Structure 1
Amino acid sequence: MEVIPVEIDIKGYLREKELTIYEVSKRSGYGYTTLHKSFNKQQTLATSLNLRDIDALAKAQHATMWQVLQELEENYMTWKE
């Protein structure tokens, strides 16, 4: 089975939602440094957005993880070939 790399524009998502990493950290209860490193790292096949990041985004917006995932998939995902 072939793996097709995907890139998620997390910074675009934060901009569009008018959120900062600090706000996501404060509202979600996750550490600022942890989220900052995760949201600013280069995405590769080995490192992608993880469940903690999605949970933090959901908690910061009083949404479910599924809602965040759906929005990321529909609007912020780029398939790399």
Structure 2
Amino acid sequence: MKVDIKTYLVEHELSIYEVAKRSGYGYTTLHKSFNKHQTKATSLNLRDLDALSRARHQAMWEVLKDLEENYLKLELKDNK
């Protein structure tokens, strides 16, 4: 499963710059994280979740719930 973080940002009218500014995390750090190829081991880390929650003025669990309910993509594997 992957989190569609780019759609989340667009739908909540946020940019990586705004998340960085509002959360206090560095732009470069968040940019690398939000644009990295996600695997099951690195789908979203706590820093990213904290940054999003600070930018949205919500608790981390509220952001996580929104991401889980609306922004997860299931990866289908070819059974060849």
Taking structure 2 as the reference length, the TM-score comes to 0.90
Partner of 1:20: 15
Letter in 1 for 2:68: E
Unmatched 5+ residue regions in structure 2? none
Residue of 32, 36, 41 corresponding to 2:36: 41
What are structure 1's unaligned runs of at least 5 residues? 1-5
- What is the match of residue 3 of structure 1? none
Name the counterpart of 1:32: 27
> After TM superposition, what 4+ stretches of structure 1 lie above 4 angstroms from structure 2?
none
**Aligned mates of 1:66, 1:46 — CA distance in 2:** 20
Number of aligned residues: 76
Answering whether residue 63 of structure 2 is matched by residue 77 of structure 1, we say no
Q: Deviations over 1:10-47 (max 9, x none)?
A: 00000000000000000000000000000000101232
8 A Cα contact 2:2 2:40, kept in partner: no
The TM-score with structure 1 as length reference comes to: 0.89
